[in-house]
Amino acid sequence: MLPTNILDHLTKIAHVRENEPLSHHVTIRVGGTAAGYVVARDLQGLKEIMRVVYDNRLDFIVIGAGSNLLFRDGGFSGLVIENFNVKGGAGDSSVQLEENADGSCLVKVESGIPLARLSYYLSRNGFSGLEWAVGIPGTIGGAVVNNAGAHGGSIGNILEAAYILEPGDVLKQVTPADLEYSYRYSNIRYKWRENGYRPVVLQVTLRLHRESPDVLQKRIMLYSGRRRSSQPSQPSSGSMFKNPLSHTAGWLIDQAGLKGTRIGDAQISSRHGNFFVNRGHASYSDVEQLMNMAKDKVLQGFDIALEEEVEILGNDASE
Ligand SMILES: Cc1cc2nc3c(=O)[nH]c(=O)nc-3n(C[C@H](O)[C@H](O)[C@H](O)COP(=O)(O)OP(=O)(O)OC[C@H]3O[C@@H](n4cnc5c(N)ncnc54)[C@H](O)[C@@H]3O)c2cc1C
């Protein structure tokens, strides 16, 4: 339960849902409930919510589309803040374009904008750099935190700056070097505990370049087609494990004979060994058992320790 005085404070600026099922808000559709759940629909809304949260030192997490997250079955005892921008696009103040004489372009966007929508919008308008993100169901904020990437591209390659909010209304501008980016790694995700708070990404500036919209549309269709032919359509969190240096995690799980293995309603996809799908009513515990099975078999068979690409949050069912 959230303290009543904070609830009162929050309800003045946003609709707060108590005991909200988190399975409704992560793409793999598992997990317990959140003590409190609010949605920020734009930058202003996010800032207002964060002011209350930081001032009251409330336990919180900002999520985007929940496409790289699993909450355990015991749920989350603080406040989950969904930062998902329903607008974003042509003529919208949430996307600001600045063209340079050398053909490069800076685009500043609010962190809650869906990656795929932004990718289509930019390519239609002849700005290249984010085509790889088509088909990734996250937000640009989540992509910055995870250094998301695909088809040889990544956020780290095009990020000019991210604008980050810290307690006390402190706004910081950071570069990829500040974020210590490496493969699916940023210090926002992995090191926030050292400071005792999670920084929040408010806005992002990307450096893009001019290219013909026709060429960009073709590239987008190529990438979409590759995804459709290799990835399952059932609810999942995308890749469960990071690819080790020597082999892909999907290949290792396939070689371990685990494709198609099912526990409860959770299944290792028979199409892609690194995608764990929810066939209906899977719990976090079902998924966890499959993850442990995959880790054990790959360690035994190949002496390789798989590391989660997804982030796992919240309490055990017994807590
Ligand atoms: C079908 C499918 C395919 C996928 N394919 C790919 C792929 O090809 N490449 C890839 O890299 N990923 C892929 N993913 C994973 C995922 O979509 C990306 O990691 C995405 O960038 C996560 O964005 P999100 O908004 O969903 O973040 P969430 O999952 O909601 O959150 C992820 C992390 O970011 C933090 N966060 C989110 N927004 C903010 C913010 N504004 N401020 C501070 N912290 C924030 C959260 O607290 C959490 O730590 C895939 C997922 C699915 C389901």
Report pTM. 0.95
List pLDDT tens digits, range 207-217.
Answer: 999 999 999 99
pLDDT of residue 9: 86
Could you identify the atom of ligand 1 that is nearest to the CA of residue 69? 29
Q: Higher confidence at residue 93 or residue 134?
A: 134
List pLDDT tens digits, range 55-65.
Answer: 999 999 999 99
93: annotated active-site residue: no
Measure CA of the first residue to CA of the last residue in the chain; give whole Å: 14
239: annotated active-site residue: yes
Q: Higher confidence at residue 87 or residue 277?
A: 277
Which architecture does CATH list for 95-230?
2-Layer Sandwich (3.30)
Ordered by start, the domain boundaries in the chain are 4-83, 95-230, 236-313
For residue 158, pLDDT over 60 is answered with yes
pLDDT of residue 53: 94
- If we measure between CA atoms, which residue out of 17, 113, 8, 2 comes closest to residue 60? 2
CATH number belonging to the domain at 4-83, selected among 3.30.43.10, 3.40.50.300, 3.40.50.280, 3.10.50.40: 3.30.43.10
110, 123, 184, 283: which is the annotated catalytic residue? 184
**Average pLDDT for residues 187-197, to the nearest whole number?**
86
- Give 93's pLDDT tier (boundaries 50, 70, 90): low
**DSSP sequence for 263-302:** ETTEEE-SS-TTEEEE-SS--HHHHHHHHHHHHHHHHHHH
Could you identify the atom of ligand 1 that is nearest to the CA of residue 144? 21
Q: What percent of the chain has pLDDT over 90?
A: 83
111: annotated active-site residue: no
Instruction: Tell me the CB-side half-sphere exposure of residue 28, using CA atoms within 13 A.
Output: 33
* Residue 226, SS3 per DSSP: helix
Q: CATH class for domain 236-313?
A: alpha beta
Q: Is 69 in the pocket of ligand 1 (CB under 6 A)?
A: yes
**Contact indicator for 183, 147 with CB cutoff of 8 Å:** yes
